Amino acid sequence: MDAAGQNSIVVAPGANHAIAPSDLEGIRAVFRGAHCALFQLETPLQVVERAMAIAREEGAITILDPAPAQKLSADLLARVDLLTPNEGEALTLLGRPPERLSLRDAAAVAEALLAIGVRAVILKLGEQGCYYRSRERGLHVPAFPVTVVDSTAAGDTFNGALAVALTEGRELEDALRFANAAAALSVTRAGAQPSIPSREEVDALARST
């Protein structure tokens, strides 16, 4: 973590990389009846792709947080209903070097991600909030102003809150505001799991003006 609260992540895959696509049929029931299924890239890509296929077969919306950042195949991207990269992850998917994005840049990057097969994208933009883009609409939802202590797990917190809000049937802008509130609270605290806010805290901030 640097002086501005920005983090670096080291991944030790361990047992995660022992999972095989053939293991997944036995857990199909986990996806049955789910509204959303949330995925990331800390397991082999073949496993992620197969799991998303099963989730969609069972009627779930697939949400992919493409971290750790890496290039992804067209087949995998075709199974994603909602992609939620941060700036660096989005640019890696497009084969571009990491950089900070302005809101104008974010719109162009989101359009480029749609062009490679993504159905809809939410760019997580830190203190700028988030930017949603589908083929039908674009939407920017500002962040909540907070003092950043540690950004570790902010993206995970955002995604978890987003999945909760969508499962509850919230309208998109409300769901994104709820996710922004959860992420904002998380960066005001050190650590990963200890930084995740309670439902009551998120509701209170999301309702604030």
Helices (H), the chain: 28-31, 45-57, 74-77, 87-93, 103-115, 154-167, 172-186, 199-207
170 in Cβ contact with 178 (< 8 Å): yes
Q: Among residues 2, 65, 75, 156, which one is catalytic?
A: 156
81 is catalytic: no
Q: CB-based contacts of 181: which residues, under 8 Å, 6+ apart?
A: 144, 161, 202, 205, 206
Amino acid symbol at 166: L
**Strands, sheet with 120-124, edge to edge from the N-terminal-most edge strand:** 36-39, 61-64, 82-83, 120-124, 130-134, 138-141
| CB of 187 closer than 8 Å to CB of 151 | yes
* Rounded Cα distance, 143 and 125, in Å: 9
Catalytic site positions: 156
